[in-house]
């Protein structure tokens, strides 16, 4: 075998070996990318009945408790209603950048503890006076 043929063969073998090493990474990336692509778009309300802008911007600033109450009013009426699947909701208000981000999480009481796995959740983002900036169900 000539030196050129030997070098060509080594180049082919090294590229094949390199491809075999990169294949598991590519398959792993594909494994995580496909479910994200199939998940579809996230539903976000920014206007209308689910996200009203009915408060005066110069009005009084709302408290954390008022942000929770406002977020509850903007969720579908049966979102936190007792059923065979849920017993209620927990609300977690978070002040951020002069807004309130309220996270609503459904739960089911199981053996005296709140089980949230498999239950729905929602985000409501309010400005400082309680106007809705975004209502993002099931994110």
Residue 35 and residue 81 share a domain: no
Residue 127 and residue 72 share a domain: yes
pLDDT of res. 84: 93
Residue 45 in domain: no
DSSP 8-state assignment for residue 1? -
Number of domains in the chain: 2
pLDDT of res. 7: 57
Please return the burial class of 70, using the count of CB atoms within 10 Å of its CB with bins 0-12, 13-18 and 19+.
buried
Q: Which residues of the chain have pLDDT under 70?
A: 1-42, 139
Residue 21 in domain: yes
Residue 52 in domain: no
pLDDT of res. 17: 57
Residue 19 and residue 70 share a domain: no
pLDDT of res. 4: 60
pLDDT of res. 18: 57
H-state helical runs in 1-139: 3-38, 64-74
pLDDT of res. 65: 97
Residue 72 and residue 131 share a domain: yes
Residue 54 in domain: no
Q: How far apart are CA 135 and CA 139, in angstroms?
A: 10
Residue 80 and residue 127 share a domain: yes
Residue 133 and residue 101 share a domain: yes
Range of the domain at 23: 1-40
Residue 36 and residue 77 share a domain: no
Residue 92 and residue 30 share a domain: no
Residue 80 and residue 32 share a domain: no
Q: How far apart are CA 129 and CA 137, in angstroms?
A: 21
pLDDT of res. 87: 95
Q: pTM for the whole thing?
A: 0.68
Residue 20 and residue 75 share a domain: no
């Amino acid at each position: 075998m000539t030196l050129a043929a030997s070098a060509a063969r080594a180049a082919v073998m090294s590229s094949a070996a390199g491809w075999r090493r990169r294949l598991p990474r590519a398959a792993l990336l594909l494994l995580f990318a496909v479910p994200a692509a199939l998940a579809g778009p996230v539903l976000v309300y920014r206007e209308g009945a689910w996200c009203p802008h009915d408060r005066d911007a110069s009005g009084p600033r709302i408290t954390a408790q008022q942000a929770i109450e406002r977020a509850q009013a903007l969720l579908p009426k049966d979102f936190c209603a007792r059923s065979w699947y849920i017993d209620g909701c927990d609300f977690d208000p978070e002040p951020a950048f002069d807004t309130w981000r309220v996270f609503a999480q459904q739960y089911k009481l199981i053996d005296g503890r709140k089980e949230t796995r498999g239950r729905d959740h929602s985000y409501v983002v309010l400005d400082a006076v309680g106007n809705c900036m975004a209502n993002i169900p099931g994110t």
